């Protein structure tokens, strides 16, 4: 009869099981035994070890590895382990012995006598670790492990397989299927504690990592919601299209949730109409807050000692109100113009901003800029202003640099000259701004632009 014969393997298993129980219980008793009884317990333990060796030798099993002599005195005090463990074994005595070992380690233990019962326990109660016997009738350990790892609720739960030494092939398959480790029978208390401690520590680290990722995801969703709401607020303060006293239309396409561009227009008095567009460096919350603050200050007329009919004064007052060292080193460019509808003139000043483009039926496009320094860099910077006549039918386009600084994939970037030519050709078209946006997106070759896209069209 060969060593691999199933009937011999079963006989060896049946003979070793009670011997292993004697070894296990004697070791537990020796840990707490008084000196008067420890000598007798040592003899029982030694005899069991000898019998175990004889069975393994004469019945052809895998040799039992050397095992430390049972302790004659309690071991050095170690901190208890913490966790909830499910122990699964079809043999009641094996299960009782294992549960005793686990509880002595400080663990909370529940038991199951077969694979189906184990799966039912895992559905109803949270565990930190499963100790699972390989050889069980019905649903064996390998199939039970497969079902545990196939369920999203328990896929990350560490499982330690329990096996006899001649079941190593089955153990190997279980390790490949996701088992964390294995324990040979009979249990060595030191090895048992080491494997338990390692698996529980890994489980705690995985749980902490999962909690951390969940916190990050919750925070991300909250921030996304807040950014969406902030973006909606920024868009809500943009003025509606206007038909009187001037006809004003606009296009606004932020490159992210919160843009650094903003603009506005309003009547200062019956004869003067203000038009303005600014672009804060960068994107995001800081840029958007500065943009909204500056626009609201212009719209509300909240700059002291400033004549809002004088573009140069407005830029100088803004430069004084928003020094970049008090704005987290953010600055902005701005074009500000005032149309005198009675005198048919347009006064304007710019602070590092692209020129506005004035188109007319009689003349080529005119670029309107005073080339002033960006707002917030130098205190007490003077800003020059200029004036240009306007005629009925003239159209003014004020934009941010995101309307023309577009890098096509594999091609040269579009420049301001290209924008001027486009506006000159399309300025009479009622859909000019829509066509410009479509053109910019087609050049970019994607659904988003690198920078905020903002442009005003004013017809005088």
| Mean pLDDT for the stretch of residues 192-198 | 91
Residue 61, pLDDT score: 55
Q: Residue 250 is part of which domain span?
A: 237-459
Q: Coil, strand or helix: which one is 143?
A: helix
> How does pLDDT run across 113-122, given as a tens digit for each residue?
999 999 999 9
Residue 233, pLDDT score: 86
CATH classification at residue 296: 3.60.40.10
One domain, residues 297 and 381: yes
Sequence-distant (6+) residues with CB within 8 A of 19 are 48, 51, 52, 55, 186
Residue spans of beta strands (DSSP E) within 53-141: 84-88, 108-112, 129-133
Transcribe 269-303 into DSSP letters. Answer: ETTEEEEEEEEESS-SHHHHHHHHHHHHHHHHT-S
Q: Is the model's pLDDT at 76 over the cut of 60? A: no
CATH classification at residue 180: 3.40.50.2300
Distance (Å, rounded) from C-alpha 449 to C-alpha 433?
Answer: 16
One domain, residues 429 and 312: yes
Task: Identify the band that residue 444 occupies on the pLDDT scale cut at 50, 70 and 90.
Answer: confident
In the listed set 189, 217, 234, which residue is the last one of a domain according to the structure? 234
Distance (Å, rounded) from C-alpha 116 to C-alpha 139?
Answer: 7
Residue found under tokens 């008090």:
326
One domain, residues 254 and 203: no
Mean pLDDT over each residue of the chain, to the nearest integer: 87
Answer whether 0.85 is exceeded by the pTM: no
Tell the burial category of 418 from Cβ atoms under 10 Å away from its Cβ (0-12, 13-18, 19+).
middle
Considering Cα of 412, then 418, then 422, then 423, what sign does the dihedral take? positive
> How does pLDDT run across 258-289, given as a tens digit for each residue?
888 999 999 999 999 999 999 999 888 889 99
Number of domains in the chain: 3
Identify which of 228, 229, 293 has the alpha carbon closest to the alpha carbon of residue 260: 293
Distance (Å, rounded) from C-alpha 63 to C-alpha 1?
Answer: 18
Distance (Å, rounded) from C-alpha 2 to C-alpha 373?
Answer: 95
Transcribe 154-193 into DSSP letters. Answer: TTTS-EEEEE-GGGHHHHHHHHHTT--EEEESSPPHHHHH
Compute φ and ψ for 108, nearest 5 degrees: -90, 130
Q: Among 4-8, 225-229, 358-362, 407-411, where is mean pLDDT lowest?
A: 4-8
Residue 6, pLDDT score: 60
In the listed set 71, 101, 119, which residue is the last one of a domain according to the structure? 71
> How does pLDDT run across 59-74, given as a tens digit for each residue?
665 544 445 444 444 4
One domain, residues 230 and 242: no
Task: Identify the band that residue 321 occupies on the pLDDT scale cut at 50, 70 and 90.
Answer: very high
One domain, residues 304 and 404: yes
- Beta carbons of 395 and 458 less than 8 angstroms apart: yes
One domain, residues 139 and 59: no
């Amino acid at each position: 009869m060969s060593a691999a014969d199933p009937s011999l393997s079963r006989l060896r298993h049946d003979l070793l099981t009670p011997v292993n129980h004697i070894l296990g219980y004697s070791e537990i008793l020796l840990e707490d035994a008084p000196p008067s009884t420890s000598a007798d317990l040592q003899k029982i333990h030694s005899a069991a070890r000898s019998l175990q060796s004889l069975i393994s030798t004469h019945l052809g099993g895998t040799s039992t590895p050397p095992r430390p002599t049972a302790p004659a005195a309690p071991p050095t005090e170690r901190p208890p382990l913490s966790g909830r463990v499910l122990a699964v074994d079809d043999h009641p005595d094996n299960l009782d012995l294992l549960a005793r070992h686990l509880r002595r380690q400080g663990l909370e233990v529940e038991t199951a006598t077969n694979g189906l019962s184990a799966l039912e326990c895992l559905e109803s109660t949270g565990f930190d670790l499963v100790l699972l016997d390989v050889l069980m009738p019905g649903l064996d350990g390998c199939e039970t492990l497969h079902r545990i790892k196939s369920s999203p609720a328990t896929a990350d739960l560490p499982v330690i397989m329990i096996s006899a030494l001649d079941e190593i092939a089955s153990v190997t398959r279980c390790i490949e299927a996701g088992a964390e480790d294995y324990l040979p029978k009979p249990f060595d208390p030191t090895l048992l504690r080491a494997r338990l401690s390692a698996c529980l520590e890994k489980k705690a680290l995985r749980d902490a990592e999962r909690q951390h990722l969940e916190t990050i995801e919750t925070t991300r969703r909250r921030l996304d919601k807040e950014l969406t709401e902030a973006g909606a607020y920024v868009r809500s303060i943009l003025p509606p299209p206007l038909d009187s006293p001037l006809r004003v239309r606009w296009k606004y396409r932020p490159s992210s949730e919160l843009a650094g561009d903003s603009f506005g227009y309003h009547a200062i008095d019956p004869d003067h109409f203000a038009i303005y567009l600014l672009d804060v460096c960068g994107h995001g919350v800081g840029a958007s807050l500065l943009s909204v603050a500056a626009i609201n200050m212009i719209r509300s007329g909240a700059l002291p000692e400033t004549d809002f009919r004088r573009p140069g004064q407005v830029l100088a007052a803004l430069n004084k109100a928003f020094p970049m060292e008090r704005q987290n080193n953010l600055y902005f460019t701005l074009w500000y113009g005032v149309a005198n509808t009675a005198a048919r003139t347009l006064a304007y000043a710019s602070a590092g901003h692209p020129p506005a483009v004035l188109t007319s039926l009689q003349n080529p496009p005119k670029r309107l800029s005073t080339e002033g320094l960006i707002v917030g860099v130098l205190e007490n910077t003077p800003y020059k202003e200029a004036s240009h006549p306007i005629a009925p039918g003239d159209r003014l386009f004020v934009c941010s640099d995101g309307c023309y600084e577009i890098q096509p994939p594999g091609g040269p970037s579009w420049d301001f000259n290209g924008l001027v030519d486009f506006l000159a050709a399309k300025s009479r078209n009622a859909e000019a701004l829509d066509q410009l946006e479509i053109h910019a997106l087609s050049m970019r070759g994607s659904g988003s632009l690198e920078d905020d896209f903002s442009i005003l069209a004013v017809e005088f």
